[in-house]
C-alpha cells in the first residue's frame, strides 16, 4: 500500500454515518477502507467520462 501523506476530514449527517457504518459492517471493512475504495473507483469514472469528450 502506498504511504499515506494526506489527511481528509469530512462532516456527515447522522443518517449518512449510519449508512456508511451499515455498509462497512456488511463488508467487514472499516470506514477508511470503504472510503478509500470509493475514491479509487472514481478513477474509472473519470477515465470513462474523459473518453466521451
Contacts for 27 with CB less than 8 Å, ≥ 6 apart: 34
The domain in which residue 36 lies consists of: 14-42
- Residue 1's pLDDT band, with cuts at 50, 70 and 90, is low
- Say how far apart CA 53 and CA 48 lie, in whole Å: 9
Cα–Cα distance for residue pair 20/16, rounded to 1 Å: 6
> What pLDDT, in 10s, does the model give residues 11-24?
999 999 999 999 99
For residue 49, tell me if it sits in a domain: no
- For residue 51, tell me if it sits in a domain: no
pLDDT at 38: 96
Q: Is residue 22 part of a domain?
A: yes
pTM: 0.78
Instruction: Classify residue 8: in a domain, yes or no.
Output: no
- Of 50, 14, 16, the closest CA to residue 35 belongs to 16
Give the dihedral sign, CA 53/38/14/11. Answer: negative
Has residue 18 been placed in a domain? yes
Question: For the chain, what is the domain count?
Answer: 1
Amino acid at each position: 500500500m502506498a504511504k499515506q501523506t494526506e489527511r481528509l476530514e469530512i462532516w456527515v449527517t447522522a443518517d449518512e454515518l449510519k449508512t456508511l457504518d451499515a455498509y462497512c459492517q456488511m463488508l467487514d471493512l472499516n470506514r477508511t477502507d470503504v472510503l478509500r475504495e470509493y475514491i479509487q473507483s472514481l478513477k474509472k469514472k473519470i477515465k470513462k467520462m474523459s473518453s466521451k469528450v
